[in-house]
Structure 1
């Protein structure tokens, strides 16, 4: 009934899925939830420390975002949580605001406020249907950004992997501090052994035994090694006892002067989180036959971030690796995430000391292996082979992250993507068309040098909208075609690719038409879209451009030209014009600029 459909619109997507829940899904969801928890706990703690926060906050964050997405999320199996790609961005936002002493309570409050801001931005984006925000980063710039992020994470985790700390900031500074630490003998051999073995173990298991929970196996073995060999007494830093219980609902207290830098960081994190979420949602939806609801996804991501922010959490995103684990384990609904959240809460309440002997280098191994999955070197090599301009965009985004930092890097990535779009619109492809014997239609004379043209007729195609940035270039190109010897009688615009004409371009068109008329050449349009034609009429360009010079197709325009001139098809010259000349019938004023009638466009 219509009334039921209206009511269903106000029911959160997760609850709609729950109402359609099938009994046979229950066992699979519970098993998948148990399997997922084995990944959620170590990754949550590792990514919290990557963000410069206490490990326990990663568990708080995991619980709240899973529960919130279970209610508001439209995807049945998408898994949210702390993410390796967001960790450096969170740290880059928080570090300048935290005193050198490293006040952990203030860091948690700032991170929670950051999560609330990210949540507010993404909810607003969802409500306002701003799904296009996720498209602000093109794939080449995203590849470069992720490559830079992977390198930044890797370098930043090396001191932890080797058992010591540095106070440096930035990729170059951190690498320099790491090298100096090694030179000063700060490396702890036991830490190097644990961390290095952890990386090798995870990579080997992921490569050869993908169904085995590699991170869990590594964590269990490293805890066993720390307990058996008393690694804490050999200089290896351990996680220690986690706080028991769960934090109360808390609105983070921050200073007013913290809000502006937090907001700047939140914008960058929101863009990356949305892009990551939409791409993951699309990938898994195509495999499960579900439909992607971008605006609902944004609202759900916002709800998850806000829930985390109210319980001492930090910004979250979708995790492709954790979603893949849940899918392989048989997950059928968001009950999988609810089971995972419940098990983490039970662990915090009943077994807070379970990870007491987990070595910090093991967490570094988790982060480093995750960072390796962010890098896309084959994609970079493919860009080099396929399109050098986009390869350079990718490298520029990479250098933006590596040299300027993570947050400026995302600004560089977004800016480069937007500039690339503008560049393509600024300098669109344009060419002359001709007739190719044996092929229907009209084709690019650059691709078909043997194409034929009619003497006195130049068919020009401009592949883009006409607007303020490219209007002068368009006028220059048409005038270049018109100054040939002999001058063309018509310059026929194959206007189907021209999707818009703004007021600046309209003025340029008017001046162009008048300049062509003075040379005895007419500007003629074919296949102009109706909305664009109406704009031209609204701009009153038909005062100078003869309304009879608008044709529905190129064929119709060519037929009209041949009928009036008697021109025959001839091969194209090197300058793009046909050989021979076209003669207009005497007294036919459409071809003479001095004709007493229609002198505006002859």
Structure 2
């Protein structure tokens, strides 16, 4: 009758118990079709057709999983159907995670942030530097795919790639195959005379790289906290004045702070170049302040 209170539920449960205890002989002669109709009417409210339409519109994969679960319940016993739905869902989850999704990064104009150039074509890339970010975590199922995708980006680049920056911000954990892949990639890039850098490597990932011996192939000085620090280090090593000047003009104060923070941990051979860049930032900031006055 449309009642939704707790009392209505208690009354319905009580009536059900009484019928099951004392009145089941009255239903003994009912055809199975009638009993089936009763079950269908009782269960029909549990099938959310609008929800299925919503899943179909938003994400077809989730819609397929919902239909598989529905058909399994209609075909098999309840526990078997639930097991089928869980197994299929886990298989779909692993399959999606195993597909390497790689974003090629460019600098957002006027900012020190980096995002996918395919989604934001106005982003600016740096000559000779390939910046990439896995959009899902690295693990055994997708490690080889990510390596192939990175090598393919290097091969298809319009200009020679001198350095690769891998942003691991989306990788919160790393297994042994993933660490081995990074070590193999570093060695392959070294054979190609391409520098390999990492950024946003969180503590558990760094620990796995150390335990797996991957840091023997990846230089410690090529692991950075933020991508922009790796970019500045790369530009200073390449003496790319044009790119540095563009960064300086648009982000002078922020870049000056980043350089000062990274100077203490920089290798000795990099400190002189970083100090010279900081001096240029100081001059640029003073000129900007004079212009505003």
Identify the residue that residue 265 of structure 2 maps to in structure 1.
none
Larger Rg, first or second structure (1 or 2): 1
Residue 505, structure 1, aligned to residue 174, structure 2 = no
Identify the residue that residue 215 of structure 2 maps to in structure 1.
542
2: CA distance between counterparts of 1:560 and 1:457?
11
In structure 2, the CA distance between the partners of 1:442 and 1:405, relative to structure 1 (3 Å rule), is same
Larger RCO (alpha carbons 8 Å, 6+ apart): 1
State the shift of 1:401 in Å: 2.5
2: CA distance between counterparts of 1:492 and 1:547?
14
Unaligned runs of 5+ in 1: 1-31, 47-54, 58-159, 166-177, 179-191, 193-360, 571-588, 591-602
Identify the residue that residue 464 of structure 1 maps to in structure 2.
136
Matches within 5 A, 1:118-137: none
Q: Deviations over 1:228-247 (max 9, x none)?
A: xxxxxxxxxxxxxxxxxxxx
Identify the residue that residue 11 of structure 2 maps to in structure 1.
38
The root-mean-square deviation of aligned C-alpha atoms, in Å, is: 2.9
Residue 444, structure 1, aligned to residue 116, structure 2 = yes
Identify the residue that residue 58 of structure 2 maps to in structure 1.
386
1: CA distance between counterparts of 2:69 and 2:146?
31
Conserved? CA contact 1:453–1:569, under 8 Å: no
Residue 530, structure 1, aligned to residue 199, structure 2 = no
Conserved? CA contact 1:434–1:459, under 8 Å: yes
State the shift of 1:550 in Å: 0.2
Q: Deviations over 1:95-119 (max 9, x none)?
A: xxxxxxxxxxxxxxxxxxxxxxxxx
Identify the residue that residue 517 of structure 1 maps to in structure 2.
190
Conserved? CA contact 1:482–1:521, under 8 Å: no
Identify the residue that residue 164 of structure 1 maps to in structure 2.
31
Residue 447 of structure 1 aligns to a residue whose secondary structure is coil
TM-score relative to the length of structure 2: 0.71
1: CA distance between counterparts of 2:100 and 2:16?
46
Identify the residue that residue 78 of structure 2 maps to in structure 1.
406
Identify the residue that residue 56 of structure 1 maps to in structure 2.
21
In structure 2, the CA distance between the partners of 1:426 and 1:45, relative to structure 1 (3 Å rule), is farther
In structure 2, the CA distance between the partners of 1:45 and 1:506, relative to structure 1 (3 Å rule), is farther
State the shift of 1:547 in Å: 0.7
Identify the residue that residue 201 of structure 1 maps to in structure 2.
none
Residue 413 of structure 1 aligns to a residue whose secondary structure is helix
Residue 488 of structure 1 aligns to a residue whose secondary structure is coil
Conserved? CA contact 2:179–2:208, under 8 Å: no
Residue 452 of structure 1 aligns to a residue whose secondary structure is coil
2: CA distance between counterparts of 1:445 and 1:33?
56
In structure 2, the CA distance between the partners of 1:440 and 1:485, relative to structure 1 (3 Å rule), is closer
Q: Deviations over 1:43-85 (max 9, x none)?
A: 4578xxxxxxxx239xxxxxxxxxxxxxxxxxxxxxxxxxxxx
In structure 2, the CA distance between the partners of 1:376 and 1:554, relative to structure 1 (3 Å rule), is same
Identify the residue that residue 374 of structure 1 maps to in structure 2.
46
Conserved? CA contact 1:464–1:499, under 8 Å: no
TM-score relative to the length of structure 1: 0.36
